[in-house]
Amino acid sequence: MPEPSPTVAVVTGAARGIGAATARRLADDGLHVAVLDLDERAAKATADTIATRGGVAVGVGADVSDTDAVTGAVARIARELGPPTVLVNNAGITRDNLLFKMADADWDAVMGVHLRGAFLMTRAVQHHMVDAEWGRIVNLSSTSALGNRGQANYSTAKAGLQGFTKTLAIELGKFGVTANCIAPGFIASDMTRATAERIGVPWEQYVQDRAKAIPVQRAGQVDDIAQAVSFFVDRRSGFVSGQVLYVAGGPRG
């Protein structure tokens, strides 16, 4: 009998940070991975790294908040790698500010990438999952969904992704598709480094200060999140759906 076709995964915002770590982990798990990012050159660099590790990956540039860009990117992925049946909605941005200082554009930009982006990507990919009668969707939320000063836009978007996940689980479950959500706490990454720079705190000091408030007394690493994604994507996790997993070193990181 012919070998079964490899599972194809799409990871958004995968040029760096959590997305890149997730793409590498899924490739190590044997999946073929589309590394999707607004910055195609950086996406290709991540894909090349995966190839040097013996994996199969392509770098794809697309704005996840743009309908035509998403449609074109998913069609390209299906041509080059095969129909995608795993989707990790990780792409995200921050535009932090206190509510009275927050501009309309800052609100709209965060909603566009996190919520509209996850919606467009999922809508574009889900028919491949339905056709295959199997699929895995993992959305990246945050402990900020519980509320965080200066992040009215980001917190709202991350809370919205939790509701989106639970609805997907209800709608797509009968097609063999699961949908789950991961809410990271403090993760040492490019995004949190940028936060430290913005508030004028040296990076090492910022990490130490944040770690003191975490029950396990350390900062999270991008691989901590990638490992959680790997669990949800695994075929053995088919009875786990509609869940929100806080990967935060404690009840709230």
Which residues participate in catalysis according to the annotation? 154
Contact yes or no for 33/11 (Cβ under 8 A): yes
Cα separations in angstroms, 64 against 43, 91, 220, 241, 243: 14, 8, 26, 24, 24
* 75-108 b/e (C-beta count within 10 Å ≥ 16 → b): ebbbeebebbbbbbbbbbbbbbeeeeebeeebbe
**Rounded to 10 degrees, what is the CA torsion of 248, 122, 149, 205?**
50
Cα separations in angstroms, 201 against 118, 157, 192, 195, 248: 32, 26, 11, 9, 22
Phi (first) and psi of residue 252, to 5 degrees = -150, 115
Cα–Cα dist 220/194, whole Å: 16
Those residues whose C-beta lies under 8 Å from the C-beta of residue 238, and which sit 6 or more positions away, are 176, 178
Extract the tokens encoding 42: 């950086």
Three-class DSSP category at 244: strand
Which position has the token pair 């999270």? Answer: 220
